[in-house]
Structure 1
Amino acid sequence: MINNINILELIRPSLQMDGGDVQFIDFDEKSGLLKVELMGHCAHCPMSAVTLKQGIEAEIKKSVPQVNEVKAVQM
């Protein structure tokens, strides 16, 4: 159903301004878990958990109701 989360393309520019980025990894339709990889400065930033939950997850949930949670994974 969801092969790619296009809303990430709207979020990426603000992360890129600070030297970071985010990439779609996987989406589990049953659980609603979206896995993303934080890259660049976002990968090691002490505020990355806040960025993930209050920024990325909040924006995605507004546009994609099938997403229940966004989790960062390292590839």
Structure 2
Amino acid sequence: MENQTLIQRIEKALSEIRPFLNNDGGDIELVSVENDVVNVRLLGTCTECTINQMTLKSGVEMTIKKYAPEISKVVNLDSTKPIMG
């Protein structure tokens, strides 16, 4: 895993969680990585889901940190509300 770039590791993490989001009619895209913060955008039904913040914290952020432990938080740009780690 050391030879993969940070972006590649984050994309791999998103690929792992994407099928679960797709099953509910949603999706996620990586927008940017700034220092130790990952900016994503939830798409489809995820944008209106009442538990999307929980999905970010317990699903997306946890999975990203598994592949890229140097990441401190994940932010959904549509909500502009950071998920605190």
Displacement, 1:63?
1.4
For residue 39 of structure 1, give the secondary structure of its aligned residue in structure 2: strand
TM-score when scaled to structure 2?
A: 0.78
State the partner residue of 1:64: 68
Report the secondary structure of 1:12's partner residue: helix
Distance 1:57 1:28 in 2: 15
- TM-score, normalised to structure 1, is 0.88
Which structure 2 residue ranges, 5 or more long, are not aligned? 79-85
Q: 1:15 to 1:61 in 2, by over 3 A?
A: same
Displacement of 1:55 in angstroms is 0.7
Cα distance in 2 between the residues matched to 1:45 and 1:16: 13
Q: CA deviation at 1:17?
A: 0.3
Runs of 4+ that moved beyond 6 A: none
Q: Which runs of no fewer than 5 residues in structure 1 stay unpaired? A: none
C-alpha deviation, 1:59, in angstroms: 1.0
| Mapped pair 1:53 → 2:80 | no
- Paired residue secondary structure (2:69): coil
The Cα RMSD (Å) is 1.2
CA-to-aligned-CA distance 1:32-73 (integer Å, 9 cap, x gap): 110000000001100000000011001111111121100101
Q: Distance in 2 between matches of 1:3 and 1:45?
A: 27
Distance 1:66 1:25 in 2: 18
